[in-house]
């Protein structure tokens, strides 16, 4: 089964620019990211607070006095380059993570796990903390039965590459350098999720280091309450996951990517047509509605269909009919699985440019009665908005069956504004104002993987009716609140 073959059908127009999610963000002068592991604390220790730890690690313990510190402390978001952790432990074994947890507990010091470093609020690189960098735990092993054992530090593009080599796939996100850990712990969705579910829905087991330094195999039959919480309860809570076992699926032989660019000012019609169209679509189709704020705003529908373009054409024609106007451009291309994942990633490797940005989220719990209300929020603002279409297999799991509560939602909205350290406060204020204006239209819920330090009533927004049970799990496994940060469940 070929996975790297090029598209085998001519485009509907000259393919002179990529139409993946990341390229679209950069074309507007913006950028995107997914979420990663999080953690933080309140004490102010120095690297001397961890005596003997360096000698227990198979990798280096990097402290502020060492030349590699500036690079080691960097996360994806440039706005957090001023963070000064007490030390970064580059872990290569489970025992390294255990030693870090024990050292932090003994010193009563803050500790944070970091996988891809994409925490939107920077919780994976807090000041004065011991950062447990698990990027060295990145092996991907595909077993004969189709299950895959994946280290917590594996990046998505490397996961896709390894799985494709075995003819398998896993529904996950598009950003290539996002870590599998943070993505899965918050839920995890992407272009294959309407067919195959969330990333956390494919999780069979995990290995977790809890606050007592013990290593636990976790599954539906072993520590089932913790297993429930790990599937959507957010990164940085409960412990540090070092590996995951997923139930993968056979990689589809053919994926068709598409993009429809609509004229400026048509955003209310596009969103109105898109939301009702998504409800009626087969699980094989996934589509996002992208809004570029402006005067007026513009709108694009970007997505993926599991199958050939010939079967997709009628579905796209139905969308155009619902919208009531033709797109300015219509682009369609067929790919094998791995090439499709590279296309949506916007690159062929895990390397990518870092960004400086602020972001927030809201969930579309149902179709919006008046899409013009949403358009009015973004008109005149240099902001980019992604509405990921949900439903399909995601909605076939009950809201309380895992910790991910948004099972019936139509979509997840990410409000993203590229900025600079100098303009950070103004950008954050602008995004917060847009988020809060949307509350009256969309409600107050949000997606934890787009974690927002200023989110009002954040615990209820991210976890809904699952919050009480999540608090109980956090109290059981971390009674002394070792894994704490401003939006940790233990603090909810």
**CATH code: domain of residue 349:** 3.40.462.20
Distance of CA 198 to the CA centre of its chain: 11
pLDDT for 365: 96
Are 298 and 420 found together in one domain? yes
Q: Does residue 378 lie within any of the structural domains?
A: yes
Are 289 and 387 found together in one domain? yes
Length of the chain: 492
Are 396 and 372 found together in one domain? yes
Distance of CA 321 to the CA centre of its chain: 32
Are 25 and 91 found together in one domain? no
Number of CB atoms found within 10 A of residue 417's CB: 24
Q: Does residue 278 lie within any of the structural domains?
A: yes
DSSP state letter for 3: S
Q: Does residue 42 lie within any of the structural domains?
A: no
Q: How far apart are CA 318 and CA 313, in angstroms?
A: 9
- Render pLDDT for 51-107 as a digit per residue (tens, 0 to 9): 899 999 999 999 999 999 999 999 999 999 999 999 999 999 999 999 999 999 999
Q: Does residue 12 lie within any of the structural domains?
A: no
**CATH code: domain of residue 113:** 3.30.43.10
pLDDT for 407: 98
Question: How many domains does one find in the chain?
Answer: 3
Are 267 and 410 found together in one domain? yes
Are 218 and 162 found together in one domain? yes
Q: Within 13 Å of residue 392, how many CA atoms lie on the same side as its CB? A: 26
Q: Does residue 2 lie within any of the structural domains?
A: no
Are 55 and 170 found together in one domain? no
Beta strand pairing call for 240-247 and 203-209: antiparallel
Q: Does residue 41 lie within any of the structural domains?
A: no
Listed residues 133, 158, 178: the one ending a domain: 133
Return the closest-CA partner of residue 251 out of 166, 155, 150: 166
pLDDT for 309: 97
- Render pLDDT for 6-59 as a digit per residue (tens, 0 to 9): 222 222 333 334 444 445 444 443 333 322 333 333 344 555 779 899 999 999
pLDDT for 18: 41
Domain of residue 370 covers 21-32+253-461
Q: How far apart are CA 181 and CA 489, in angstroms?
A: 17
pLDDT for 49: 73
Are 390 and 277 found together in one domain? yes
- Which residues of the chain are modeled with pLDDT < 50? 1-22, 24-44, 348-351
Q: How far apart are CA 85 and CA 265, in angstroms?
A: 46
Q: Does residue 485 lie within any of the structural domains?
A: no
Token pair 């451009």 is found at 329
DSSP state letter for 450: G
Are 331 and 388 found together in one domain? yes
Q: How far apart are CA 110 and CA 380, in angstroms?
A: 42
Listed residues 73, 99, 133: the one ending a domain: 133
Vertex 279: Cα angle to 273 and 283 (nearest 5)? 125
pLDDT for 31: 33
Are 230 and 269 found together in one domain? no
**CATH code: domain of residue 168:** 3.30.465.10
Q: Does residue 281 lie within any of the structural domains?
A: yes
Are 305 and 199 found together in one domain? no
Beta bridge partners of 149: 141, 245
Non-local CB neighbours of 163 within 8 Å, separated by 6+ positions: 140, 142, 148, 169, 170, 248, 251
Are 200 and 304 found together in one domain? no
Listed residues 98, 118, 133: the one ending a domain: 133
**φ, ψ dihedrals at 305, nearest 5°:** -125, 130
């Amino acid at each position: 089964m070929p996975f790297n073959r090029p598209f085998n059908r001519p485009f509907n127009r000259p393919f002179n620019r990529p139409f993946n999610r990341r390229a679209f963000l950069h074309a507007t002068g913006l950028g995107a990211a997914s979420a990663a592991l999080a953690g933080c604390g309140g004490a102010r220790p120095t690297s001397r607070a961890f005596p003997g730890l360096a000698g227990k690690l198979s990798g280096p313990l990097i402290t502020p006095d060492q030349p590699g510190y500036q690079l080691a402390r960097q996360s994806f978001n440039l706005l957090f380059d001023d963070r000064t952790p007490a030390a970064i432990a580059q872990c290569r074994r489970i025992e390294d993570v255990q030693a870090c947890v024990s050292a932090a507990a003994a010193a009563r010091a803050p500790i944070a796990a970091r996988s891809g470093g994409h925490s939107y609020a920077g919780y994976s690189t807090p000041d004065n903390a011991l950062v447990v960098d698990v990027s060295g735990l990145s092996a991907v092993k595909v077993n004969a039965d189709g299950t895959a054992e994946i280290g917590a530090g594996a990046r998505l593009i490397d996961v896709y590459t390894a799985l494709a080599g075995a003819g398998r796939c896993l529904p996950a996100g598009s950003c290539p350098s996002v870590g599998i850990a943070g993505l899965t712990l918050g839920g995890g969705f992407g272009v294959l999720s309407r067919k195959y579910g969330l990333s956390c829905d494919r999780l069979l087991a995990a290995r977790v280091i809890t606050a007592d330094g013990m290593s636990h195999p976790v599954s539906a039959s072993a520590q089932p309450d913790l297993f429930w919480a790990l599937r959507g309860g957010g990164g940085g809570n409960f412990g540090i996951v070092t590996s995951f076992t997923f139930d993968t699926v056979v990689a589809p032989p053919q994926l068709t990517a598409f993009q429809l660019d609509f004229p400026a000012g048509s955003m209310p019609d596009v969103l109105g047509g898109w939301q009702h169209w998504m409800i009626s679509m087969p699980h094989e189709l996934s589509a996002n509605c992208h809004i570029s704020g402006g005067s007026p705003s513009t709108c694009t529908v970007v997505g993926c269909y599991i199958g050939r373009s010939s079967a997709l054409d009628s579905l796209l024609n139905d969308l155009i009919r619902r919208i009531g106007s033709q797109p300015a451009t219509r682009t369609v291309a067929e790919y094998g699985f791995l090439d499709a994942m590279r296309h949506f990633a916007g690159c062929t490797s895990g390397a990518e440019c870092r960004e400086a940005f602020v972001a927030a989220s809201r969930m579309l719990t149902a179709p919006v009665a008046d899409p013009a209300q949403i358009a009015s929020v973004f008109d005149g603002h240099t902001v980019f908005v992604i509405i990921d279409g949900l439903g399909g297999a995601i909605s076939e799991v009950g809201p309380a069956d895992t910790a991910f509560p948004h099972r019936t939602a139509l979509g997840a909205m990410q409000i993203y504004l590229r900025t600079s350290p100098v303009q950070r406060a103004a950008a954050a204020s602008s995004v917060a104002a847009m988020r809060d204006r949307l509350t009256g239209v969309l409600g107050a819920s949000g997606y934890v993987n787009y974690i927002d330090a200023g989110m009002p009533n954040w615990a209820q927004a991210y976890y809904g009716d699952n919050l009480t049970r999540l608090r109980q799990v956090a109290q059981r496994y971390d009674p002394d609140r070792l894994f704490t940060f401003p939006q940790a469940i233990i603090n909810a």
